[in-house]
Amino acid sequence: MRLISWNVNGLRACMQKGFMDSFSALDADFFCLQETKLQPEQIQLELPGYTQFWCSAQKKGYSGTAIFAKKSPISVTYGVGVEELDTEGRLIILEYDSCYIATCYTPNAQDGLKRIDHRLAWDKAFREKLSSLAERKPVIVCGDLNVAHQEIDLKNPGPNRGSAGFSDEERESFTTLLEAGFTDTFRYLHPDAVGAYSWWSYRFNARKNNAGWRIDYFLVSKELNGAIKKAEIHPEIFGSDHCPVELELNMEV
């Protein structure tokens, strides 16, 4: 089973930059998007063989997630279940016989960490939601989680210490999520890989110089560790300031 996660930074814009070519080439069983920045009626997307699930922000042109699935789920849930956290279209959960598959676009703490309280409230509710699901069956969750966990996960950790996405609070919150029973699949297979990034600023020729951050993840319940076959990052694929990340598992839904 192959899964792809990609923050497209506006799907309509990404469509003009080769999205469909990348979608076809990657040929995933589940294709998960973040930061779609649209309402479903604002795009006509023909994806034969896939069922489309959309979760849009109330504010138009902002945030939003989607999953395109080859197999229809038993049930679909949107959001963490906390009203004040569920206005921005940040979470979709599909239930299958063998597992849950979810995609998430975690709130950005923003410059000066001015939204850190909201971010940490989201992290807590998200962690509790995943933990409650994991009590029933294994969880596979992907997305732009907006945190570089360790210094190895960004090019310039020193100058960025305390910045949004690399604050002590966000890093500790991510550690707490992993300790709740989840595995960072990329680090599971590639514990010492350096220069492995999924997001680059549009400034300072960051992508050309590979001055990036790894903030896009696939996490799985630890009981699925033995099924992890491949966890890859695709920096060769353009169209967004993020690139797609991939997970292949020796299992079926």
Assess whether 144 carries a catalytic annotation.
yes
Catalytic residue among 50, 86, 100, 105: 105
Integer Cα distance of 77 and 94 in angstroms:
7
Place of tokens 């966000």: 170
- Establish whether 100 is a catalytic residue: no
In sequence order, what E strands does the chain have? 2-7, 30-34, 51-55, 65-69, 75-78, 91-95, 100-105, 139-144, 182-184, 199-200, 212-213, 216-221, 228-233, 245-249
Alpha-carbon gap, residue 102 to 91, rounded angstroms: 7
Number of helices and strands (H, E) in the chain?
Answer: 6, 14
Alpha helix (H) residue ranges in the chain: 11-15, 19-26, 116-134, 157-160, 168-179, 185-189
CA dist., res. 153 & res. 192, Å (int): 10
What is the separation, in whole angstroms, between the first and last Cα of the chain? 8
Integer Cα distance of 208 and 238 in angstroms: 12
Candidates 55, 17, 52; CA nearest to 31 is 52
Single out the catalytic residue among 29, 123, 144, 153. Answer: 144
Which residues are annotated as catalytic?
A: 105, 144
